[in-house]
Structure 1
Amino acid sequence: MDLSCFKAYDLRGRVPDQLNPTLAEKIGRAYVEITGAKKVIVGYDIRLSSPDITEALSSGLMAAGADVYDIGLCGTEQVYFATSHYGMDGGIMVTASHNPKDHNGMKMVGPESRPISSDNGLNDIRDRVLEPFANAPEQGRYETLEVMSAYVDHLLGYIDAGSLKPMTIVCNAGNGGAGLVIDELEQHLPFEFVKVHHQPDGHFPNGVPNPILPENRTATADAVIEHGAAMGIAWDGDYDRCFFFDENGRFIEGYYVVGLLADQFLRKTGGGKVIHDPRLTWNTLDLVKAAGGKAIESKTGHAFIKQRMRDEDAVYGGEMSAHHYFRDFAYCDSGMIPWLLIAERLCQSGQTLSSLIDARIEAYPASGEINRTINDPPKVIAAIEAKYSVGAKSVSFVDGLSVEFDNWRFNLRMSNTEPVVRLNVESRADKALMEEKTEELLQEMDRLNTN
């Protein structure tokens, strides 16, 4: 049996050779045997293969004795929400997020929506799939559960509805599931939504919903300009990540959104801890300190960030990859809470999104993440460390290699899944220096890669 769909954090693979209903049924059985779950939330995304895979998964869960609560077509965060809100033993979302349309996958959580990844049960589930199964003495029950209304109420609890003013917002669901939530929220908000690629459609007529790809940003940017919108928002397929465009249609790097959300959240809570990843940090550190909070660095990746947030009881966590985590959302990531907070900020401040962001880009210009295919990543990173740690103010290994000087810093880390090295560079108010050092590091990596 091909089990290559089991990854470090979740399951993803091509349908039907890497993931299919037969395997999904076994995964359901293995999930119950390994976790001991008795009540499990199940939801699925807009992919064409999702209903069949979900049905088979549910059959496996019930055959192993667990009750299934099916919340239907939804986003990953609704599985997180329902699992914690209704006190379930676990939850499984059938989704492949922004993978190609012939792929599917699963994201799994345990009680309180704690992530299940390769270091706490996912590998055990994978290994158990290979063994024979016997049915539980008592089959689990199946029922559907309506969570949209409770979820929407929860989302609205993050903002002060009285401070909102009418404005136009472009929203691009990428034919994923986000449009269904926007339609529900719309009834409670004074905003006019311009809806782009709004209908859920697993054929992905406008391409796979992945706004990280520059070619996928044009539709949102153009609509912002055409309608004179205050901002644009785009989501990936299961809408656990959201991406922002200012009123000029400019795509905003996720790094600057983390600082903005940290600042907005700390204003509400009057302080608290904020978790961030080590790739780009100075802007976040600056804003968190100014807002009376405490910034704490964590290894990149949702399992690490969520655990660190629990350990520190942090109010908010953000990654530059557009994942945003909230304490009151079971420490999970949401693609809906961030844009509500930023819309609220625009209404309360009377400022444009570009004016809020421009000052931060000027203060801390950043390269954005640059990926390079490298034959021997550890060798190249070790050589860069040897060269650049001389005269450095600090060298850290929280996630890859971070080297800091007085007026610029960089982070270099390996991909978990491919022979790729990822570089991020930032400076203090010196764009030319940031660009010069980025180019210098890339040339050095190329030279090391050919030697």
Structure 2
Amino acid sequence: MTSEQNKTFDLSASFKAYDVRGIVGESITSHIVESVGAAFVDTLGLAGETVLVGGDMRPSSPEFIKAFADGAARRGANVQLLDLISTDELYYACGALNAAGATFTASHNPAEYNGIKMSKAGAQPISSETGLKEIQALAEKYLNSGSIPAADVQGKISTRDVLKDYSEYLRSLVDLNGSRPLKIVVDAGNGMAGLTTPAVLGDQLLPALPFEIIPLYFELDGSFPNHPANPLEPENLRDLQAAVIEHGADIGLAFDGDADRCFVIDEKGEPVSPSAITGMVARREIARAQAAGEETPVIIHNLLTSRAVPELVATDGGRAVRTRVGHSFIKAVMAEEGAVFGGEHSAHFYFRDFWNADTGMLAAMHVLAALGEQDGPLSELGRQYEPYVSSGEINSEIEDKAGAIERVRADFDGEDVDVDTMDGSTFTAKDGSWWFNLRPSNTEPFLRLNAEAKDVATMEKVRDRVLALVRA
């Protein structure tokens, strides 16, 4: 018995809306994780069923994998240890094997963090609205009682490697054999893409593709010695941008720590926006679905994605559906609509053929296919999908966020502007020349601005006007 067991446990600091995340040794420990594993099995009724457990390269992941497995087996589940996996490998395994599972990762968070992403069978997401709160409550009960009761029939623990099956499955979805030769720099950020890239795009497990891969930071190291594994921050792309120029590469790919998000750099070292990637992949998925007889394929995009995306979808004969920001919303609407593909401004990309789950690697493969089937450079290809100018996300630290939004609303009142409140407040000029969204952060004193316009001057004028009102 540890000293931990002499206190009352409250796991609300680490249980978030969609996953568990905390500081190792403080809000997430092996003792806590064991109880979460037991609660996972009980809440989802998994006694006698298979539960898949893996983790990323963080130093605490092996210990946590074992603890979760022990808790799950104690409550009667048969656990298969997947060992080192990317988050989309978990989704693959949960989908292909029709089993529930969990992976230990804190995605792009710093080294002192770890966490748990959990999934139901078929890669269905678990959120606070679909079981996570119940798992938390039961885990707290076990922790506070000091023990996890043993099931009548305890489960067995075995191992399973899914990397080759995952790689073969992705290759079955996008044929890259006919691509022209491409030189690709991949920055794995010392994260899980260092394992998955050689397996999927290289010749480690499968026949070689017509690619030369130049690896950056492929060594799995959860201390992130080179830069944080968060490509959303521009400074974390600088090494990749420099390497693309240095090697004369055709494209650069950057993955986050658990490799479920992918960012793209063109041959000039310039980022290709996630909205442009969404458009590029949407075009390919619409064409593929139509070729299979689907009349009007559905594409999902969140409300911060460029207006170019729904315009392209309409032009190509698809139907675009706009959603709130956040993967639980996207996945739910993907399922409701039978959508073939979904994209977010944050570089999460979702595929019907991947159980509506997000996978950075599959999105990267679509981009490589689009680039490799034509002769032009990525900068020219990408420009077709970026007709507008975006401000990017700008945060303002504001205590009275509602008051700031009201100032903006009052200032634009009477102008030819539509306002909707699906997620924050989106203001759209009726002539289509610009739009912007103001969203309050749920966890920080930030008001987030995203603006887009037909040209730089208009975007800057709208951006500066809104920021002056917000920060008044």
**What TM-score, normalized to structure 2?**
0.92
C-alpha displacement at 1:422, in angstroms? 1.1
1:74 paired with 2:89, answer no
The equivalent residue for 2:412 is 388
How far, CA to CA, are the matches of 1:360 and 1:328 in structure 2? 23
How far, CA to CA, are the matches of 2:130 and 2:409 in structure 1? 32
DSSP 3-state at the match of 2:67 = helix
Q: 1:277 to 1:137 in 2, by over 3 A?
A: same
Q: How does 1:295-444 map to 2 (within 5 A)?
A: 295-361=320-386, 363-405=387-429, 406=431, 407-428=433-454, 430-444=455-469
The equivalent residue for 1:102 is 112
How far, CA to CA, are the matches of 2:56 and 2:418 in structure 1? 44
C-alpha displacement at 1:393, in angstroms? 4.0
DSSP 3-state at the match of 1:157 = helix
Q: 1:61 to 1:390 in 2, by over 3 A?
A: farther
The equivalent residue for 1:113 is 123
DSSP 3-state at the match of 2:129 = coil
User: RMSD over aligned Cα, in angstroms?
Assistant: 1.3
The C-alpha deviation readout for 1:337-371, integer Å capped at 9, x for no partner, is 0111111111112221111222443x211111111
| Equivalent residues of 2:244, 2:252 under 8 A apart | yes
The one of 47, 54, 66 equivalent to 2:58 is 47
How far, CA to CA, are the matches of 1:238 and 1:334 in structure 2? 10
C-alpha displacement at 1:389, in angstroms? 4.8
The equivalent residue for 1:261 is 281
The one of 21, 45, 48 equivalent to 1:36 is 45
Q: Which residue type is aligned with residue 417 of structure 1?
A: T
| Equivalent residues of 1:392, 1:403 under 8 A apart | no
| Equivalent residues of 1:240, 1:333 under 8 A apart | yes
C-alpha displacement at 1:175, in angstroms? 0.5
1:283 paired with 2:308, answer yes
Question: Mean alpha-carbon deviation: is it higher for 79-88 or for 279-288?
Answer: 279-288
How far, CA to CA, are the matches of 2:41 and 2:264 in structure 1? 39
DSSP 3-state at the match of 1:72 = strand
Q: Unpaired segments of 5 or more residues in structure 2? A: 1-8, 291-295
How far, CA to CA, are the matches of 2:116 and 2:327 in structure 1? 15
DSSP 3-state at the match of 2:226 = coil
Q: Which residue type is aligned with residue 145 of structure 1?
A: R
The equivalent residue for 2:318 is 293
**Where in structure 1 do 4 or more consecutive aligned residues deviate above 3 Å?**
none
| Equivalent residues of 1:31, 1:61 under 8 A apart | yes
How far, CA to CA, are the matches of 2:28 and 2:56 in structure 1? 15
| Equivalent residues of 1:253, 1:368 under 8 A apart | no
Q: Which residue type is aligned with residue 418 of structure 2?
A: S
1:152 paired with 2:167, answer yes
Q: 1:380 to 1:150 in 2, by over 3 A?
A: same
The one of 183, 199, 204 equivalent to 2:224 is 204
DSSP 3-state at the match of 2:116 = strand
How far, CA to CA, are the matches of 2:437 and 2:172 in structure 1? 36
How far, CA to CA, are the matches of 2:362 and 2:285 in structure 1? 11
Report how many aligned residue pairs link the two structures.
Answer: 444
Question: Mean alpha-carbon deviation: is it higher for 1-10 or for 305-314?
Answer: 1-10
Q: Which residue type is aligned with residue 264 of structure 1?
A: R
1:243 paired with 2:263, answer yes
How far, CA to CA, are the matches of 1:95 and 1:71 in structure 2? 14
Q: Unpaired segments of 5 or more residues in structure 1? A: none
1:83 paired with 2:94, answer yes
The one of 46, 51, 73 equivalent to 1:62 is 73
The C-alpha deviation readout for 1:81-100, integer Å capped at 9, x for no partner, is 10110111x11111000111
DSSP 3-state at the match of 1:121 = helix
| Equivalent residues of 2:37, 2:69 under 8 A apart | yes
DSSP 3-state at the match of 1:317 = strand
Question: Mean alpha-carbon deviation: is it higher for 197-206 or for 330-339?
Answer: 197-206
